[in-house]
Structure 1
Amino acid sequence: MTPKSSNYETMKQAMAQTFSSYDTGAMIEKFHLQHDAAYLYLPLLGRAYRIDRRSGQVSWSDDGFRTSTEADYNVAMTLYDVLCCSEPDCHLAHTWVNVRSLARVQGGTLEKSGDFFQGAGRMFSGKADALARRCQALQGKKLDQGDAAYQLDLLPFLPLQLVFWEADEDFPASLQFFVDRNTLAYMHYETLMFALSHVLDRLQAQA
C-alpha cells in the first residue's frame, strides 16, 4: 500500500529539501525529540526513525542504526507534515473519533478514501486472532471492543485505535480507525491516510 512511482519519490525528495529549511531546534522543543548534531530521532509504531537535519532524509533501523533503511513515502511524508506543518499549539483532546467522521474533513476527501476502509476490512476477514497477534507485536494495548481492538502509538505523543469486526450475515468484515479529535492539528487528513496505510503495511508484514 506504499506508493512506489517516480512521482512519489520526487515528491518525497522535494519535501526532504524543504525540511532542511525548517528550524529543527523548534521541533526538538515542541515534541521533546531525542537528537544529536546530525539527526532528530522519533519512533513511529515502535520502530526507530531518524531524520537527517541537513538533508531531511528519513531512515529507520531495527539495530540501533548500525544499519539503516530509507523510509518509504508514507512514513516520510507523515513525519515531515507533523514536524513542519503541525499547528503551534497542537495538543490532544483526549476524545476519540472515527477517522471517517472528523469534523474538519470535507466530504470529497472522505468519498475518495471509502475504498481504503472497505479494503482494510476485507484484508483481515476471518483473521481476527491473527490481527490481534500482529497488534501485540506492535506493542498494542488490548481494548475490550469488537472481535479485535487495540490502541497503538502512531507517534509517542499521538495514539490511534483500531477496532475490527468479523463479517456476519448482514455486514462484511469491518476495520475502523479511531483517532484523537485534535489529530488534524498535527497533520493534514491526506497525511493521516498515508499514516494509516503504513499501519496496515506493518500489520501485514508481521509474521
Structure 2
Amino acid sequence: MTNQKSNYEIQTQKALLLFPKWDHEKIAKKFNLELDENYLYINFIGQKYRLNRQNGSIQYFSKNNTYIDATYNEVMSILDLFDYSKEHLHLSGNWCTPNSLKGVVNGGNVGGKNTMFGKYETLFSNNINLLSKACEKLGGQKIDEADIGYIINIFDFLPVKFLFFEEDCDFPPEIKFFWDENVLDYIRFETTFFAFSHLLQRIAEIIKNEI
C-alpha cells in the first residue's frame, strides 16, 4: 500500500517547484546572500541552507557533514521571505506581539496564552539551564527580560525576541515572543508562526541532545 502524502508535504513540494523560476541574482543582491552556479545560500536559525537553482530543493548542512532536506516550516519561511518581502526593508527597533503588528486585523487569542507551545513550556521548565545554553548555541543575545530572555536571529537581518517565564504558585510556565514592528514587510503573518515554531523545535533538539 502506497503511503499518502500529507497536506504539508504537498504544499512543500508545490512551493519548491516555484523557486527555479525566480530571479536568483536579484534575491542574492537584495539580501546580500552567497550565490554560485548551482545554489543560493541563506542562514536560517543558526543553520546554513542551500537552495538548488535547478530543482528547487532546500537542504541544510548538518553537524554530521551531510545535507538534510528542509521540512515544511523551513521551506515556507525561506521561500516566503524571497517571494513576499517588500523592495525596501528596514527594522523599526520597536517590538510587538504578533497580534499587535501593523495590519493584523484579527490575530486570534489576543492577549491569551498560546496553547501551541505547551510541550515546549514543559520541556523548558524541566531544563532551565539547558534552555539558556541552547539559545546561546543559536547565537542568541541575552536580555534582562522575563526569567529567560534572548534576541535570536531568524535570518541574519531579522531577529525575534524570545521570552520564557518559569512556573510559580499562581501561573504555569509560559513562552512569549515578539517581532520587530516591520516584520510583515519581510514575511507574511502566518509565516511568523512557521518561523517561530521552527525556532522552538531547534531549541528543543539542542536540549534533548544534552539531556
Seen in structure 2, the aligned counterparts of structure 1 residues 159 and 108 have a Cα distance that, compared at 3 Å, is: closer
Indicate the residue corresponding to 2:165 in structure 1. Answer: 165
1:42: Cα distance to partner? 0.3
**Structure 2 length-normalised TM:** 0.87
Indicate the residue corresponding to 2:194 in structure 1. Answer: 194
1:24: Cα distance to partner? 1.0
Superposition map of 1:65-84 within 5 A: 67-84=66-83
Superposition map of 1:21-36 within 5 A: 21-36=21-36
Note if contact 1:120-1:174 (Cα within 8 Å) is conserved in structure 2.
Answer: no
1:95: Cα distance to partner? 1.3
Q: Which runs of 5+ in 2 are unaligned?
A: none
Indicate the residue corresponding to 2:115 in structure 1. Answer: 115
Indicate the residue corresponding to 1:96 in structure 2. Answer: 95
**Structure 1 length-normalised TM:** 0.89
1:103: Cα distance to partner? 3.0
Indicate the residue corresponding to 1:39 in structure 2. Answer: 39
Note if contact 1:128-1:164 (Cα within 8 Å) is conserved in structure 2.
Answer: no
Indicate the residue corresponding to 2:86 in structure 1. Answer: 87
1:189: Cα distance to partner? 1.2
Task: Report the AA paired with residue 121 of structure 1.
Answer: E
Superposition map of 1:101-180 within 5 A: 101-110=100-109, 114-117=114-117, 120-180=120-180
Task: Report the AA paired with residue 13 of structure 2.
Answer: Q
Note if contact 1:42-1:50 (Cα within 8 Å) is conserved in structure 2.
Answer: yes
Which of 31-40 and 168-177 deviates more? 168-177
1:181 and 2:181 matched: yes
1:16 and 2:8 matched: no
Q: Which runs of 5+ in 1 are unaligned?
A: none
Which of 99-108 and 185-194 deviates more? 99-108
Task: Report the AA paired with residue 80 of structure 2.
Answer: D
Indicate the residue corresponding to 2:53 in structure 1. Answer: 53
Q: CA RMSD in A?
A: 2.3
1:108: Cα distance to partner? 4.9
3-state SS in 1 of match to 2:170: coil
What percent of counterpart residues are identical? 33
Report the Cα distance in structure 2 between the residues aligned to 1:7 and 1:175, rounded to whole angstroms.
28
3-state SS in 1 of match to 2:44: coil
Deviation beyond 6 Å, 4+ runs, structure 1 = none
Which of 95-104 and 68-77 deviates more? 95-104
